A and B are shown apart, each in its own frame.
Chain A
């Protein structure tokens, strides 16, 4: 039997589906089977509290992810930039995210990466920053008024104090699954929490 694909609805449709299905299966179903670190962890991973989960919902609906990624890429420039007190930030690995039911890895950095921001600033600092972020950054020397401030982050002063606390609680957990902010002898440098 000679099959003329161009005359047959069935063969065109089946062919297009089968060719697609090979790649679709190998890039969605197979990866978690071959690389289990995508969904399970050999190390302890932080479980979010109720307050932090409310924070996640706010992070989601305010769309923070459209300007802030949450991944330290395996690049020296990323590790250096998002490090802390001359300690390089360790790169993000799959297992750190296994409890992130809603992931915020992100695709665009208009603002800095937040993967390791937890504990870097005090919660008071975050509160002030959410209220008026543009006032806390650098300024253009020769400009006036609204054009003076370099930061373009929108202010979130419409969030209630309670919501800002929830959001901050979530942000303070970011990147803490690796205990990386230590001095040379391995002593923790988490001075904001003390």
Chain B
């Protein structure tokens, strides 16, 4: 089988899923401002929300990350992918599984697991796909032709091992007949939090650890910081699930443990961030921000700083009293999964797609425009969710406000979320068009180079 077929399949289908995910997101946002739109069963707000999160997590982000890593890993390890056939088989099975799972969600056949609504047998098939991915990753590392394992490889190995347990705990063990009540909730939140923390964080960071030095043509800033970041995160992250239940019906000691470890997360995050910014700072000044890839990597890192500073502080009891259960949380989750990790994934696709197609990116300028539109829209998008969340949190403190009054106070925030979200949605099409043209379009590279020289003169 032709080399990199697996990477290509997964990257292209992930780009398509991304569009559906954003469509669901914009429809959900629209429902908050004009609730009568599409008032039918299959388009009710909770169904749209479940589709939005699941398409984003599994259809887009996880699939994009796996596709990019299928390309990156053989390059770092100076070898071929362990089994291209296994990779393609997994890609096909994975896409069919996700589509099946999404149909079930639309019909209302779901599990009570946030981020894991996909019901059996499809969630078991996701686990099967994951094991196939694991075999391919470990196999590729085993047949490597270099001695040392680079940071990207550590994070990928960590992610495939951790995720196997996290996914099984959250989706299968939590549904066992003996599980109920707050015990079940504890397992589910273990999954929900670690889905972000031990699936998307390590995969996203792995991609960034490869792309940043490669794109800037600069060695990574500090090897020691990479080690601190990796080993501390593998110990610290997993403890934090219970911080979703602060003040709630779960053991007080468990909440306190999760707060302590949530706060400790500042250590690995700062190590990673310092390393990324350090690499940017030491890169040649003139060209370090040319084109969409370094811009997306830089902005993704900035969002990563913000989201990872919010996290530890939100976990403090007094802060949590205001922010928890409000729109703030939605803003926080969007900045992690959209702001940080989707930006890394988009940078990865901009980097890998031309290599897969064997020619230059269709249009760097369009890539820049996509970046600026998305970034300038996403900043107010996140901000308005936090501001709305804080307003809501304080409004709830006063028992004089009826609940609907506290909701009415958010009308402007919800309009703002919809309109900025619409810009994000629009800029996605620039990204999609650019990537599809790079793969399938007919364009002559020379013409573009000529145009650039003319413009330069």
Contact = CB atoms under 8 A, between A and B. Distances in A.
A62 B329 contact: no
A79 to B, nearest CB: 10
B42 to A, nearest CB: 10
Contact of B39 (A22, A63, A75, A155): A155
Interface stretch (A97-105, A121-129, A180-188): A97-105
Interface in A13-34: 13, 15-17, 19-20, 22-24, 26-28, 31-32, 34
Nearest to A110: B407
Given A28-B187, A39-B180, A73 B248 contact: yes
B183 A66 contact: no
A142 B378 CA distance: 31
- Mostly, the B contact residues are helix
B114 interface: yes
A13 B187 CA distance: 24
Nearest to A109: B325
A106 B32 CA distance: 19
Contacts of A50: none
Contacts of A93: 249
B149 A7 contact: yes
Interface residues of A, number: 76
Nearest to A106: B325
Contacts of B184: 100-101, 103
B35 A134 contact: yes
A45 to B, nearest CB: 9
Contacts of B138: 9, 13
B418 interface: no
A104 B325 CA distance: 14
Interface stretch (B67-75, B353-361, B397-405, B442-450): B397-405
Given A67-B46, A110-B407, A23 B235 contact: yes
B165 interface: yes
B198 interface: yes
B326 interface: yes
A13 B157 contact: yes
Interface of B: 31-32, 34-36, 39-41, 44-47, 49-50, 108-110, 112, 114, 138, 141-142, 147-149, 153-154, 157-158, 161-162, 165-166, 169, 177-188, 190, 192, 198, 230-231, 234-239, 241-242, 244-251, 253-254, 257-258, 261, 321, 324-326, 329-330, 396-399, 402-405, 407-408
